[in-house]
Amino acid sequence: MDRRKFMRGAAVGALGSAGAASLAAPAIAQESPKVRWRCTSSFPKSLDTIYGGAEDVAKYVREATDGAFDIQVYAAGEIVPGLQAADAVSNGTVEMCHTAAYYYVGKDPAWALGGVIPFGLNARGMHAWLYYGGGLDLLNEFYGTQGLHYLPAGNTGAQMGGWFRKEINGLADMEGLQMRIAGLAGRVMEKLGVVPQQIAGGDIYPALERGTIDAAEWIGPYDDESLGFYQVAPYYYYPGWWEGNLSLCCYFNQESWQSLPENYRSLLGTATRAATTEMLAEYDYKNPQALRRLIDAGAQLRAYPQDVMNASFTAAQEVYAEINGENEAFKKIYDSMMQFQSETYLWQQVAEYTYDTFMMIKQREGALAGQQAGGNQ
Annotated binding site: 159, 180, 217-218, 243
Integer Rg of the chain from CA: 21
Contact 279, 248 (CB under 8 A): yes
Residue numbering of the annotated binding site for Na(+): 218
Find, among 337, 147, 331, the residue nearest to 253 by Cα: 147
Contact 242, 217 (CB under 8 A): yes
**Amino acid (1-letter code) at residue 140:** N
CA angle at 279 for the pair 128 and 61, rounded to the nearest 5°: 90
Contact 251, 97 (CB under 8 A): yes
Contacts of residue 4, defined as CB under 8 A and 6 or more positions apart, other chains included, come to 63, 64
CA angle at 375 for the pair 371 and 377, rounded to the nearest 5°: 60
Strand order in the sheet with 178-180: 195-197, 178-180, 215-216, 162-164, 235-238, 300-303
What percent of the chain is helix, strand and coil (3-state, nearest 5)?
55, 15, 30
Contact 62, 120 (CB under 8 A): no
Find, among 253, 288, 281, the residue nearest to 151 by Cα: 253
Phi and psi at residue 295, to the nearest 5°: -65, -40
Residue numbering of the annotated binding site for substrate: 159, 180, 217, 243
